[in-house]
A and B are shown apart, each in its own frame.
Chain A
Amino acid sequence: GENVEQHPSTLSVQEGDSAVIKCTYSDSASNYFPWYKQELGKGPQLIIDIRSNVGEKKDQRIAVTLNKTAKHFSLHITETQPEDSAVYFCATPPPGNTGKLIFGQGTTLQVKP
């Protein structure tokens, strides 16, 4: 079945620096790749996503890139701020099943002021 590996598990950066989180998936037919931000005591919040027909997508300080050949996708956060501190999850649905998401293990991002 589909498997998603996420790295690193923890990431600490200084405010203003960039942060990059990478995920690798196993099924080459996967075609949708969302990223979620989860703050303490809250549910995951969809922050950006990308479909397989696009290589990169940006939304202000965040961007997602997709490399279908290598089967990996990455979250890029620029000009990090303390409020970016949270746990970030990548995910992908098994091909043909949009009701189920397979999540990575999560990355705890700490942005130091």
Chain B
Amino acid sequence: DAGVTQSPTHLIKTRGQQVTLRCSPISGHKSVSWYQQVLGQGPQFIFQYYEKEERGRGNFPDRFSARQFPNYSSELNVNALLLGDSALYLCASTALITPEQYFGPGTRLTVT
């Protein structure tokens, strides 16, 4: 079975630009959570989406938004990029009937 997939693998953007990151959950998983991991730190929760609705939001500005599609895949959008947005963005999927979260390989975003 395929695990959580994310695209693209790497991305380089300039300050002020916008970026869209994509995630496909494990087959059968209906919930997707997004995390930001800055170098040397643990992942920080950004959003959870379940059944196409936002179910939770971390302490991130409104420049961060996300959505979930009918096939349960998800996109994370970040507007007006700042240098501090440079990080590894991780997507995790869960079946919710059990609490295990499984992470994808991440998208490495570099803002210059």
Contacts and interface: CB of A to CB of B under 8 A. Distances in A.
Contacts of B90: 43-44
Measured as residues with beta carbon below 8 angstroms from the partner, the interface class of chain B is 20 to 34
Nearest to B108: A41
Contacts of A89: 42-43
Nearest to B105: A43
Contacts of A102: 45
Contacts of A91: 42
Interface string B84-112: 00000010101010011111111000000
Interface in A42-84: 42-46, 49
Measured as residues with beta carbon below 8 angstroms from the partner, the interface class of chain A is 20 to 34
B107 to A, nearest CB: 10
Given A43-B106, A99-B33, 4 more contacts: A43-B104, A98-B94, A99-B50, A100-B45
Interface of B: 4, 31, 33, 35, 40-45, 48, 50, 55-56, 58, 90, 92, 94, 96, 99-106
Interface of A: 6, 32, 34, 36, 42-46, 49, 89, 91, 93, 97-106
